[in-house]
């Protein structure tokens, strides 16, 4: 790899470290754009947009912490998809991510046994 900086007085190690940190930031933005798409903003004020961006960053941080805590290896996007699927159900997230096949089958069975909303009204 070749780097051509415009500051020739900097040490090579410093330049490499700056590029490494920049790459981490680029990877973070890519991860956020792929897993938490901000297609539109819920508010029009600058404060509302800041809150939505901060909530996205907090969500990304929580997903990263969950990914590091699990013993089973998960890709970030796979974990985000799984959280999106099971978010509205009362299940133990610790065990669900360690053995997802069993818990997902149980979850699908529970949802298929639940009566439809229209049946509850009559």
Domains held by the chain: number: 1
Report the C-alpha dihedral over residues 40, 41, 43, 46, rounded to 10 degrees: -130
Tens-binned pLDDT, residue by residue, of the chain (122 aa): 666 666 777 788 888 898 899 999 999 999 999 888 888 888 889 999 999 999 999 999 999 998 888 888 888 998 888 888 878 777 777 677 777 777 667 767 766 665 555 555 55
- Give the residue numbers spanning the domain of 52: 12-69
Domain assignment present for 23: yes
Q: pLDDT at position 120, please?
A: 53
Domain assignment present for 104: no
Domain assignment present for 81: no
Domain assignment present for 38: yes
* pTM above threshold 0.85: no
Q: How far apart are CA 83 and CA 24, in angstroms?
A: 24
Q: pLDDT at position 15, please?
A: 83
Domain assignment present for 49: yes
C-beta of residue 52 within 8 angstroms of C-beta of residue 41: yes
Q: Measured on CA atoms in the order 106, 96, 77, 48, is the torsion positive or negative?
A: positive
C-beta of residue 3 within 8 angstroms of C-beta of residue 16: yes
Q: How far apart are CA 65 and CA 16, in angstroms?
A: 27
């Amino acid at each position: 790899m070749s780097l051509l900086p415009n500051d020739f007085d900097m040490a090579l190690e410093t330049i490499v470290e700056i590029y490494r940190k920049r790459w981490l930031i680029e990877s973070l933005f890519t991860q956020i754009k792929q897993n938490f798409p901000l297609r539109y903003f819920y508010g029009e004020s600058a404060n509302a947009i800041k809150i939505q961006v901060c909530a996205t960053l907090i969500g990304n941080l929580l997903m990263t912490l969950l990914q590091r805590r699990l013993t089973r290896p998960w890709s970030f996007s796979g974990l985000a998809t799984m959280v999106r699927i099971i978010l509205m159900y009362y299940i133990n997230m610790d065990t669900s991510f360690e053995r997802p096949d069993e818990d997902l089958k149980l979850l699908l069975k529970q949802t298929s046994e639940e009566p439809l909303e229209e049946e509850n009204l009559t």
